[in-house]
Chain A
Amino acid sequence: MKQVWAAILIWLAISVTSALAVTPAEQLRDPALEARARVISKGLRCVVCQNQSIDDSNASLAADMRVLVRQRILAGDTNTQVTQYMVDRYGNFVLLRPPVKRNTYALWFGPLGFIGFGALIFWLTARRRKNPKIAPAGTENPDEKQRIDELLEQYRK
């Protein structure tokens, strides 16, 4: 088993290292089209390197995907069509920004829930703290602190 893992790691390592991200040779002449290509590439995940966009990745597969993105643009595809082209082949996995759909509701709306829950807790706590019957306003008393300090001082000696 260990050997297989080692082999897979080597396989990953090799596919990860080669050229730099976006190279001059790949770039489109038309700056407007190139800008579109960059925007699309930044949203597509390099499938061999985990959580890196193909725009940032040095992997050779990412380089080929960048070229393909540019070919699709030259062929007249819209941004959505290019992205869809990749999703057709690699699934939603290839999107760095997961689509909002049933299995991602918890992801996209969860954080709002956290904030709401936090606000609720604060409100409940603040209300409870105001009610002296449930929690006494505290035993703070400067004299008491002084007394303790004196006591501590005594033990120090």
Chain B
Amino acid sequence: MKFRLSALIPLLIFSFIGLALAIGLRNDPRAMPSTMIDRDMPAFTLQAVSDDLPLLQHSDLLGKISLLNVFGSWCTACLHEHPTLMRLSRQNRIAIYGVDWRDTPSAGANWLRVNGNPYAAVGLDSQSHLAIDLGVTGAPETYLIDPKGRIRFKQIGPITEQVWRDTIEPMVRLLEAEQ
């Protein structure tokens, strides 16, 4: 039987593409490798969301393990993770701070009043200054910060109970063990 080796080339190329697509399926295209991992939390000044809510300062993020959560009253996916954040806050599991991104003080304050406030302190970033410094691409995003004020992990998308259990809590444990 005649057989031409060159006739195999298309199949080989296709196999490679098929393999790449198969691996690609397991990749989340929205997962961005953050350039901020293991870098210091950038300096920032935020506006107050409301007079009766403590304003988030850079110093808040030092000396303990904390979560910095980027949210907004316009963000529907944030409602998805809110119960988890509320539970963590009630149980004092970890200090949670909020960045109310691209919002107005009144809308942000109202949102926290209606849905509950899990944050130890909140700041308003109406023009994305901090958001861009952090490389935020959408809300919600959450940063895990170690006691030295370095960013150790970034969660893109809502923190559901599952995400907390499988991804973030183990990392918190690791950080706690480092102490």
Interface residues of A (CB under 8 A from B): 3-4, 7-8, 10-12, 14-15, 47-48, 60-61, 64-65, 67-68, 87-91, 93
The residue among B77, B133, B134, B140 with the most chain A CB atoms within 10 A of its own CB is B77
Give me 10 other A-B pairs in contact (C-beta within 8 A), A11-B139, A14-B75, A68-B132 excluded: A11-B75, A11-B138, A12-B138, A47-B137, A48-B138, A60-B102, A61-B136, A68-B129, A89-B133, A91-B32
Known A4-B80, A11-B139, A91-B35; judge A61-B74 contact (CB<8 A): no
| Chain B residues near A8 (CB-CB < 8 A) | 30, 77, 157
Residue of B nearest to A124 (CB): B6
Task: Please determine whether B134 and A7 come into contact, CB atoms closer than 8 angstroms.
Answer: no
Task: Please determine whether B127 and A67 come into contact, CB atoms closer than 8 angstroms.
Answer: yes
Per-residue A-contact encoding for B115-138, CB less than 8 Å = 1, 0 else:
000000000000111011111111
- A-B pair number, CB within 8 angstroms: 71
Q: In the assembled complex, how far is the CB of residue B76 from the closest CB belonging to chain A, in whole angstroms?
A: 5
* A–B pairs, 19, beta carbons within 8 Å: A7-B80, A7-B158, A8-B157, A10-B76, A10-B77, A11-B77, A11-B140, A14-B76, A48-B138, A61-B132, A64-B128, A68-B128, A87-B35, A88-B35, A89-B134, A90-B135, A91-B32, A91-B135, A93-B32
Residue of A nearest to B32 (CB): A93
| Number of B residues, CB within 8 Å of A | 28
B24 at the A interface (CB under 8 A)? no
| Chain A residues near B74 (CB-CB < 8 A) | 14
Query: CB within 8 A of B157: which of A4, A65, A67, A91?
Result: A4
B167 at the A interface (CB under 8 A)? no
Given the complex of chains A and B, what is the CA–CA distance between A7 and B133 in angstroms? 25
Query: CB within 8 A of B135: which of A14, A60, A68, A89?
Result: A89
Task: Please determine whether A89 and B132 come into contact, CB atoms closer than 8 angstroms.
Answer: yes
Task: Please determine whether B138 and A15 come into contact, CB atoms closer than 8 angstroms.
Answer: yes
| Chain A residues near B75 (CB-CB < 8 A) | 11, 14
